[in-house]
Amino acid sequence: MSDEDYEKKSAAESAAETLCAVRAEIGKAFVGQRELVDHALITLLAGGHLLVEGVPGLGKTLLVRSLAQAIGGESKRMQFTPDLMPSDITGNIMLDTRTGQFTTRKGPVFTNLFIADEINRAPAKTQAALFEAMQEFQVTLDGESHPLPEPFMVLATQNPFEHEGTYPLPDAQKDRFLMKIVASYPPADEEKAMVTQVLAEGAGAVLSVTAVKTVLKSGEFALLRDLASTVRLDPVIIDYAVRLTAATRTNAAIQIGAGPRGSLALVRCARARALLEGRDFVLPDDIQILAVPVLAHRLTLSAESELEGQNEDRIIRNLVSLTEAPRI
């Protein structure tokens, strides 16, 4: 092993220890659900956004508040409703009647972790207000571009579509989320631990993150994100990710497959997962484990497959089993 490789490996192991400390601090407020915590960290490390689907009351907002506290960042939450306007999210230009000058009012999207709660309760026009912020990490107000803070991440929650008053997310909106995961009810032991912990802090009406200590500052987290972008990626891993994504475009059960953005998202998340595990290289396992949360929400199933009761997750898992993985 060369000195450069040793230094990179040492840096990856040190980063994993730091991220483990972040995970431990989050656990002081957000009990259990390790997969959800890891996916949030992977998404933030990869510089992307996370979509979480699940019924209300599973602690999604608490997770983001805890994550923001642990990395020394700021979080803001907005409840999406049918009457929400785009300017309520991004801000607007206002006339100051005292001075006669126009002033810029920045919206809640100007933060490190923006929680778009129940995003699919707002119509497509309002959801589209996040397009520029999610893709270009800036917001344009009256022709002037305003950069968003670093790091910036949207964590959106949505209710299942069968719930009353929900709007399906546009395909272009879904494609901008690096990952989508389904939050399920916690196991009984984790739920008991959570209830015990919350009640020990008082009446249980307020979910507190005061016990969560700041492990690093937001600027230091940017260094970890830069380190994730240097994780070694063998050409055969890139080929594997592209072949897996391309397989979604030729499957009879899928009407519209994942585009090139899906391939890119897969390798970006794989790099972040490798760093989270303390490795300076990506394994085929990273691609396989992340295939469902990265690719499933980018698919549109055919009418026949929906009638047959198939779903995106099951189809992706089947494609993973059918696509030959490289040996490295």
239-280 residue pLDDT tens: 999 999 999 998 888 888 888 999 999 999 999 999 999 999
Report the distance separating Cα 128 and Cα 167, nearest Å: 13
Residue 60 has pLDDT above 80, yes or no: no
Structure tokens at 62: 């608490």
pLDDT in tens, 283-324: 999 999 999 999 998 988 888 877 777 888 888 999 999 999
pLDDT in tens, 31-50: 777 888 899 899 989 989 98
Strands 101-106 and 300-301: unpaired
Closest CA to 123 of 154, 88, 98: 88
What is the chain's mean pLDDT, rounded? Answer: 83
Closest CA to 313 of 182, 174, 185, 118: 182
What ranges in 28-154 are assigned the alpha helix state H? 34-45, 60-70, 86-90, 124-127, 131-136
Report the distance separating Cα 167 and Cα 171, nearest Å: 12
- Give yes or no for a contact between 48 and 265, defined as CB atoms under 8 angstroms apart: yes
What integer is the mean pLDDT of 147-158?
Answer: 86
What integer is the mean pLDDT of 79-101?
Answer: 82
Report the distance separating Cα 322 and Cα 325, nearest Å: 9
Q: How confident is the model at residue 6 (pLDDT cuts 50, 70, 90)?
A: very low
- Give yes or no for a contact between 110 and 139, defined as CB atoms under 8 angstroms apart: yes
Per-residue pLDDT, 320: 93
What integer is the mean pLDDT of 189-199?
Answer: 74
DSSP state of 142: T
Q: Residues of the chain with pLDDT > 70: what percent?
A: 89
DSSP state of 264: H
DSSP state of 317: H
Report the distance separating Cα 19 and Cα 85, nearest Å: 37
What integer is the mean pLDDT of 103-122?
Answer: 86
